[in-house]
């Protein structure tokens, strides 16, 4: 088969930082081609070059046998390349349909937007690709992260691309939406589209990818047919070493002391009548189909939005009216949020500032800060979490996704709160960093932290959590543990009245 897209010895430097050093890539029309690597391996830089957002310093790229040198994202779109980036590029104040057709709206002779034609084009696009239900007229800011991800995918598909780039596109999706996207990718490939698929979920890659290319430290280190390679080889190529295990040994560390007790707890219109206990030393998983109340549970516990029912924290009744009240020292709660770039970090500020902004009182006396005390806290946290940053003054927005997430963990741990709310903490994170985060969670549980843990990846809940609370239609469908804690039983509890 003829290669549609080839890249040879592509390089990109940002000052003294090497993002790509002789990256090679070759993919065919009509295939799903997985591009894998750790966070910081150069994948994002490479696809930004393909998308016209970044210009390389060297190397060549051809598309359809012709030199390909996009100078602007519009050049890429005109050439038939549509990216779906992990970090979304949508406009919150516009509706779903306005975002999909932004700057390509059907216009009247008077140069005004033809509202009916816009709606019909959106509905036809959704029908053609069998999109999960989304209202075209809904304002984007009112959608969940998962629904915003679907809008980003719709925007890319609206251009009928020759090359569709999916960068961690399932990381925010639930099981049903993930299966839809995997099926869509295979269907597009059968119709002749090249789908470049970037994911840290090897199960998805093995399910749909025809071939795999692996980047490490900005260079291509391996390329093979998916059927001819095992997971251990893929991981070793990504990391440059063999990984002993992804999931740490799960030793029981929970005590009888209850850290959080919920009775009749609810929030908004989606979450109601939750009776649940989270114990000291426990990792309690939360599962459910997309939109069944997981997000509302975590937000309400952290004081975002109103809540109903009774909440006890370490045996004392408590009403949490806001995040500031939730973060009340060792007896409080800390959150790793769903959207790290928009809700967890100040991207234009340094690693140091992001780590310490919430705990400035720990190194301030009489209104004066102690830089040495601050530097000590920052250095200890960077070392403990193995945050890869040139210096503590490096901007958070320039870090890889995995290191950004580590900064959020560090910020959370510096608050000294012992109840941790982790909302999909490994979303879009490479396998090596995932292993570090899972081990950190189990270590913290062993030290007496109480951890509430939601993941869109059911395998993570099965292997990391002590118990899993399954939400269905905003209510508690089941609490699974032991042999009942399996992906099959979680899905049954999420979709039907009772788990078997």
Provide DSSP, 187-209: HHHHTT-EEEEE-S-HHHHHHH-
Residue 315 in tokens: 């045996």
CA 203 to chain centroid, in Å, comes to 16
The DSSP annotation for 442-488 comes to HHHHHTT-EEEEE-S-HHHHHHH-SEEEEEETTEEEEEEEGGG-SHH
Pair 330, 418: CB distance under 8 Å: yes
**Residue 175: per-residue pLDDT:** 81
With a CB cutoff of 8 Å and minimum separation 6, the contacts of 99 are 90, 91, 140, 151, 155
HEC sequence for 383-429: HHHCCCCCCCCCEHHHCCHHHHHHHHHHHHHHCCCCEEEEECCCCCC
Place of tokens 């030199």: 67
With a CB cutoff of 8 Å and minimum separation 6, the contacts of 264 are 273, 274, 275, 308, 309, 310
Report in angstroms the alpha-carbon separations of 378 from 221, 244, 314, 353: 34, 29, 29, 9
**Residue 499: per-residue pLDDT:** 39
**Residue 292: per-residue pLDDT:** 85
Q: What angle do CA 19, 244, 252 make, to 5 degrees?
A: 120
CA dist 72 and 159 (Å) reads: 16
Instruction: Give me the architecture of the 3-239 domain, per CATH.
Output: 3-Layer(aba) Sandwich (3.40)
**Residue 23: per-residue pLDDT:** 95
CATH superfamily assigned to domain 258-495: P-loop containing nucleotide triphosphate hydrolases (3.40.50.300)
Pair 175, 90: CB distance under 8 Å: no
CA dist 192 and 30 (Å) reads: 4
Residue 271 in tokens: 């979450």
- What is the model's pTM? 0.69
The DSSP annotation for 351-388 comes to HHHHHHGGGGGGGEETTEE-HHHHHHHHHHHHHHHT--
* HSE toward the beta carbon, residue 225, CA cutoff 13 A: 2
Helix, strand, coil percentages, rounded to 5, for the chain: 35, 25, 35
Pair 472, 288: CB distance under 8 Å: yes
Give the strands of the sheet with 58-63, arranged side by side.
Answer: 17-28, 3-14, 58-63, 66-67
Same fold, 3-239 and 258-495: yes
CA dist 359 and 413 (Å) reads: 10
**For the chain, domain boundaries:** 3-239, 258-495
CA dist 445 and 417 (Å) reads: 13
Pair 326, 413: CB distance under 8 Å: no
Instruction: Give the count of beta carbons closer than 10 Å to the beta carbon of residue 395.
Output: 16
CA 40 to chain centroid, in Å, comes to 15
- Which of the residues in the chain have pLDDT under 50? 498-500
């Amino acid at each position: 088969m003829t290669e549609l897209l080839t890249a040879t010895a592509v390089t990109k430097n940002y000052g003294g930082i090497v993002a790509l050093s002789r990256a090679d890539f070759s993919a065919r029309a009509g295939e799903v081609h997985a591009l894998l690597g750790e966070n910081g391996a150069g994948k994002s830089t490479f696809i930004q070059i393909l998308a016209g957002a970044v210009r390389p310093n060297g190397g060549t790229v051809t598309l359809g046998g012709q030199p390909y040198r996009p100078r602007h994202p519009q050049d890429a779109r005109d050439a038939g390349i549509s990216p779906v980036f992990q970090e979304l590029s949508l406009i919150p104040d516009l509706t779903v349909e306005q975002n999909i057709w932004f700057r390509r709206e059907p216009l009247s002779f008077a140069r005004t937007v033809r509202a009916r034609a816009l709606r019909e084009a959106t509905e036809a696009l959704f029908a053609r690709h069998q999109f999960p239900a989304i209202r075209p007229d809904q304002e984007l800011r009112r959608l969940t992260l998962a629904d915003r991800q679907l809008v980003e995918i719709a925007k890319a598909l609206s251009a009928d691309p020759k090359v569709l780039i999916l960068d961690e596109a399932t990381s925010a999706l639930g099981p049903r939406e993930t299966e839809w996207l995997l099926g869509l990718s295979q269907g597009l490939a059968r119709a002749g589209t090249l789908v470049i698929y970037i994911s840290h979920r090897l199960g998805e890659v093995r399910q749909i990818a025809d071939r795999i290319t692996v980047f490490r430290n900005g260079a291509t280190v391996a390329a093979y047919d998916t059927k001819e390679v095992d997971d251990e080889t893929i991981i070793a190529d990504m990391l440059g070493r063999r990984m002993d295990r992804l999931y740490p040994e799960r030793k029981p560390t929970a005590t009888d002391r209850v850290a959080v007790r919920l009775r009749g707890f609810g929030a908004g219109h989606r979450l109601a009548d939750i009776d649940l206990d989270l114990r000291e030393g426990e990792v309690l998983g939360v599962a459910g189909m997309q939109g069944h109340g997981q997000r509302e549970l975590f937000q309400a516990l952290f004081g975002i939005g109103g809540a109903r029912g009774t909440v006890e924290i370490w045996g004392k009744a408590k009403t949490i009216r806001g995040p500031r009240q939730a973060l009340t020292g060792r007896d409080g709660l800390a959150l790793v949020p769903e959207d790290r770039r928009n809700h967890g970090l100040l991207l234009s500020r340094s690693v140091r500032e992001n780590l310490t902004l919430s705990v400035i009182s720990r190194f301030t006396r009489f209104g004066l800060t102690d830089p040495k005390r601050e530097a000590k806290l920052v250095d200890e946290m960077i070392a403990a979490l193995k945050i890869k940053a040139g210096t503590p003054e490096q901007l958070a927005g320039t870090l890889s996704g995995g290191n950004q997430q580590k900064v959020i963990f560090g910020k959370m741990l510096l608050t000294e709160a012992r109840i941790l709310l982790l909302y999909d903490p490994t979303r879009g994170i490479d396998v090596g960093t995932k292993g570090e985060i899972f081990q950190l969670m189990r270590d913290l549980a062993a030290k007496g932290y109480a951890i509430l843990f939601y993941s869109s990846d059911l395998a993570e809940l099965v292997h990391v959590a002590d118990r899993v609370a399954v939400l269905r239609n905003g209510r508690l469908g089941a609490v699974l543990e032991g042999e009942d804690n399996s992906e099959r039983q979680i899905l049954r509890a999420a979709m039907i009245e009772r788990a078997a």
